[in-house]
Chain A
Amino acid sequence: MPDARTSAFPNVETSILGADEIIINMGPQHPSTHGVLRVKLKLDGERVTGSECIIGYLHRGVEKIAEHRTYQQFAPYVDRMDYVAAVSNGLGYCEAVEKLLNVEAPLRARVIRTILTELQRIASHLLWLGTHALDIGALTPLFYCFREREEILKILEKYCGARLTTHAFRIGGLQYEAYDTLEHDVERFCKDFASKIEEYGTLLTENRIWLGRTKGIGVLSAKDAIDMGASGPVLRASGVKWDIRKAAPYAAYDQYKFEIPVGKNGDTYDRYVVRMEEMRQSRLICLQAIENIPTGPIMAKVGKVLKPPPGEVYHAIEAPKGELGYYLVSDGTVQPYRVRIRPPSFVNLQAFDKMVRGHMVADVVAIIGTLDIVLGEVDR
């Protein structure tokens, strides 16, 4: 059976291979590619001299589906893109449609959204930490990370009944009131989490093997990171202090104090440090938010049939992986004319080739892990 994917190898010159050069194929069913990413590697001995990512195995045509659904009907679909951070996807979409409609969710809704989104960020980073460490060879953190992540999923489940693809928010606000002990649950989690995250630190931060496997691996300079469109922790680890939660506050982020951690060297270790610090900051945001959840309505007046006036809007949020943007075009009907999703994983993955060149094969899994990609979002 002819498969043009094997011949499509334009970035790596297959015809001119040196005496010791070989081409190997990694994925799409490789456990450390976090899904169905396929990477072709050109190797000189054990050193990578070129690479090409082949994606699209999980392409479901989400943007096409959107044009055939109403605005509300499409909301659950976005949860299936970055399925380890479904709450963040939903937040971005709901806010983009609200912007298109020119309505704003009530403050109470925005605060609850902020709490759940920050919990989701912690959960997403925990999953990243566990699997990233596992890829590199540290088995233990995975179990601890999943233990804490479970607590967050329980809170999400109590709130909306779903653990993974939550569809927690609605256009205009929230469908569900916060359950009675939400504050208590979040507070208990945050209190426990403070010491837990330091535990992970003792396992990794000064671990010699961890340092050896991450320091100086996959370096991305600030200039390159901006040029490649990298965002989120990948960009911040390169020393660019940019977080959309601060630059263009959405939800209720303007009310809370938090720091933007940045790295210096832009290597795998710095990205680890940045994400660890982000978890601590997210915990602080949650603690501030539960202190004072305003009372009031949880839904703005948006009506049952949404017909945004013709026009277009681009709305970006700081998802756990980076800038998640929605570009919506309305033609005044109940269905969006065009929904474009700017996936952070897709754009960040583009920097992979630059980061991997010159490193060993074993570092490839470290670099895939440090990019924190979710293939459901890369392929959509």
Chain B
Amino acid sequence: MADDPQEKQPPKPPASETPAVSTPQGEPKPPVATVPPKTVAPAAAPPPSSSGPASPTKPAAPATGAPAKPAAPPPPKPPAVAPVPLDNELVKRYRTRFADGLRAAWEDRKQAILVVERGRLEEIAKFTRDDEKFDFLSDLTAVDWPKRERRFDVVLNLYSFAHNTRLRLKVHAGENESVPSVSGVWSTANWLEREVYDMFGIRFEGHPNLTRILMPEEWQGHPLRKDYDILTQDTAWVRENLGIESGQ
């Protein structure tokens, strides 16, 4: 994991929780949404903090530190797909309700992404389902960023029948940190959380039956972690249960 110098870094700076809280927020209607810290990003195009949500097309060229002016004429480039900070009504409602429970909000490829505090996920999920009418949990999954302080993203893809919109909620979780289960909010999460536990080893607190679902129960290791190589296997399990030396 962290000892591998070639490890890929997160492409986008999805605000590790510490810097996010240091930015001023919780104030009523800040002019700019909480922008993920940009300095961590590699050569990727970071979202210029001063560009509002009204100008989603921006040059994809790497920003050279100069603050992009809102009135700057956009060069005729192919439409950029870099993430832009999001500060619409939805985000404002979350900010009013949860203050710094909402860590960051941005839009990527026109899809809204909210990063919320891990500890308050269940409460926020209930609000999302009942008040914001995102009653359909499409998908729940995780992404592993081993170099980051909190290595896992748990990602919820939601859909609202009432508004015909989608929303993505994210929480960050560290190696030994558990995430509140949302299986009491959306029953769909039951198996999906089991799969995330199986593949990443993230524990979900309050889950009724957190066992492996795809891999054999006594398998060692979590295959979708980045430090689990594609050729890795539980050799002992394979030898004992399949009676062969290797499954490769």
Contact = CB atoms under 8 A, between A and B. Distances in A.
Interface string B147-183: 0000000010100010010101000000000000000
Given A1-B240, A327-B141, A64 B224 contact: yes
A101 B79 CA distance: 10
Given A310-B45, A311-B12, 13 more contacts: A1-B241, A8-B217, A10-B211, A61-B223, A102-B79, A228-B187, A311-B109, A312-B12, A314-B138, A314-B139, A337-B8, A350-B187, A350-B188
A227 B230 contact: no
A347 B81 CA distance: 31
A284 B45 CA distance: 45
A188 interface: no
B217 A4 contact: yes
B109 A240 contact: no
Contacts of B80: 102, 309
Contacts of B190: 350
A331 B223 contact: no
A338 interface: yes
10 contacts: A61-B223, A227-B135, A242-B161, A309-B45, A331-B8, A331-B9, A331-B11, A332-B44, A340-B139, A379-B214
A59 B44 contact: no
B44 A310 contact: yes
B89 interface: no
A23 B113 CA distance: 45
Contact of B82 (A309, A331, A347, A380): A309
Given A310-B44, A329-B143, A5 B109 contact: no
B77 to A, nearest CB: 11
A9 to B, nearest CB: 10
A194 interface: no
Interface size on B, as a range, is: 35 or more
A380 B198 CA distance: 14
Contact of A338 (B143, B168, B218): B143
B109 A55 contact: no
A277 B82 CA distance: 42
Interface of A: 1, 3-5, 8, 10-11, 55-56, 59, 61, 63-65, 67-68, 99-102, 226-229, 240, 242, 247-248, 308-314, 316, 323, 325, 327, 329-333, 337-338, 340, 342, 346-347, 350, 379-380
B213 interface: yes
B245 interface: no
Interface in B4-18: 8-12
Main secondary structure of the interface of B (DSSP, over half): loop
Interface string B1-39: 000000011111000000000000000000000000000
B164 A248 contact: yes
Interface of B: 8-12, 41-45, 60, 78-83, 108-109, 111, 113, 135-139, 141, 143-144, 155, 157, 161, 164, 166, 168, 186-188, 190-192, 199, 209, 211-218, 223-224, 230, 240-241
Residue with the highest number of chain B CB atoms closer than 10 Å, among A325, A332, A380: A332
A342 B138 contact: yes
B161 A311 contact: no
A68 B224 CA distance: 12
Contacts of B230: 61, 64-65, 67-68
Contacts of B44: 309-310, 332
Contacts of A329: 11, 143
B211 A8 contact: yes
B11 A55 contact: no
B188 A56 contact: no
A11 to B, nearest CB: 7
A327 B191 contact: no
Contacts of A59: 214-215
Contacts of A330: 11
B138 A4 contact: no
Contact of B214 (A56, A331, A332): A56
A250 B182 CA distance: 30
Contacts of A247: 164
Contacts of B187: 227-229, 350
Nearest to A312: B108
A350 B214 CA distance: 14
